[in-house]
């Protein structure tokens, strides 16, 4: 077993991330939103993504880094699903998915597109900057995250040794970037310009704990979603 010591550099970023979370969520927490199956499902997936983000940070604060890294994949998937539901899913799919059904006492899992299928559909329905951030994260991180989830070579290469601070910081700021993307979607679903600007402002204020590529691209996207065909 490796030492579960938390590096001081990571403690600093975790502390900044907590402040970022508070600034990010205060404009959108406990705010009424459009009462439709599509919007309810989008917020459900965003809430699930937030839970994964919080769990990732809690594990990292305890030095349980392999498990923390593995949670970034479901965090990203939940945000991606929220975007897909909001931008690309049909009305009939949204209405069907929001109803829990059982068969012989077992919950029936409705069909949902795979990650690459959702991205393909979002390419033509999502704001280009948001799509670029989603597809860019998938292109760069997907294989490595799968390795951590399934105990592959990426995970094995760090087993029994301390992970470099620079690598752990990169994981944390990438998770923060995914959280920021989800919060921006939530703000657009509420459709209040003041709240959208507050969420965008939080991400510019906390650039030090967000991916450099997000800032280089001009920050978060701000446009409303396009209505699915």
**Residues 74, 53: Cα–Cα separation, whole Å:** 9
Question: Whole-prediction pTM value?
Answer: 0.89
pLDDT-based confidence at residue 148 (cuts at 50, 70, 90)? confident
Average pLDDT on 174-192 reads 93
Helix, strand, or coil here: 29?
Answer: coil
Task: Judge residue 115's burial from the number of C-beta atoms within 10 Å of its C-beta, 0-12 exposed, 13-18 middle, 19 or more buried.
Answer: middle
Domain ranges (residues) in the chain: 8-90+113-216
Tokens of 93: 């799919």
Q: Which stretch, 121-135, 153-167, 211-225, has highest mean pLDDT?
A: 121-135
Report the alpha-carbon angle 158-163-165, nearest 5: 160
Residues 6+ apart with CB under 8 A from 228: 87, 88, 89, 90, 91, 125
Identify which has the larger pLDDT, 127 or 220.
127
Q: What is the pLDDT of residues 55-106, one digit of tens each?
A: 999 999 999 999 999 999 999 999 999 999 999 999 889 888 877 777 777 7
Q: What does the DSSP 8-state code read for residue 225?
A: P
**Residues 151, 192: Cα–Cα separation, whole Å:** 43
- When computed from its CA atoms, the radius of gyration of the chain, rounded to whole angstroms, is 18
Q: What is the pLDDT of residues 19-32, one digit of tens each?
A: 999 999 999 987 76
Answer yes or no: is pLDDT of 200 > 70. yes
């Amino acid at each position: 077993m490796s030492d579960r010591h938390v590096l001081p550099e990571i403690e600093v970023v975790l502390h900044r991330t907590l402040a970022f979370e508070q600034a990010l969520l205060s404009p959108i927490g406990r705010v009424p939103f459009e009462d439709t199956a599509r919007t309810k499902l989008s917020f459900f997936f965003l809430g699930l993504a937030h839970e994964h983000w919080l769990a990732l940070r809690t594990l990292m604060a305890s030095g349980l880094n392999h498990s923390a890294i593995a949670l970034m994949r479901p965090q990203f998937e939940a945000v991606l699903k929220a975007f897909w539901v909001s931008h690309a899913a049909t009305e009939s799919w949204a209405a069907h998915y929001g109803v829990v059904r059982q068969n012989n006492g077992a919950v029936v899992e409705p069909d949902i597109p795979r990650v690459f299928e959702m991205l393909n559909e979002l390419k033509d329905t999502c704001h280009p900057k948001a799509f670029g951030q989603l597809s860019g994260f998938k292109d760069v991180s997907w294989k490595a995250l799968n390795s951590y989830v399934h105990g592959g070579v990426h995970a094995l290469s760090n087993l029994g040794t301390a992970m470099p601070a620079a690598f752990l910081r990169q994981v944390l700021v990438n998770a923060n970037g995914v959280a920021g993307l989800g919060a921006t979607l939530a703000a657009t679903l509420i459709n209040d310009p003041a709240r959208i600007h507050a969420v965008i402002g939080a991400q510019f204020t906390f650039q030090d704990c967000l991916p450099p590529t997000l800032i280089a691209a001009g920050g978060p996207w701000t446009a409303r979603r396009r209505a699915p065909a």
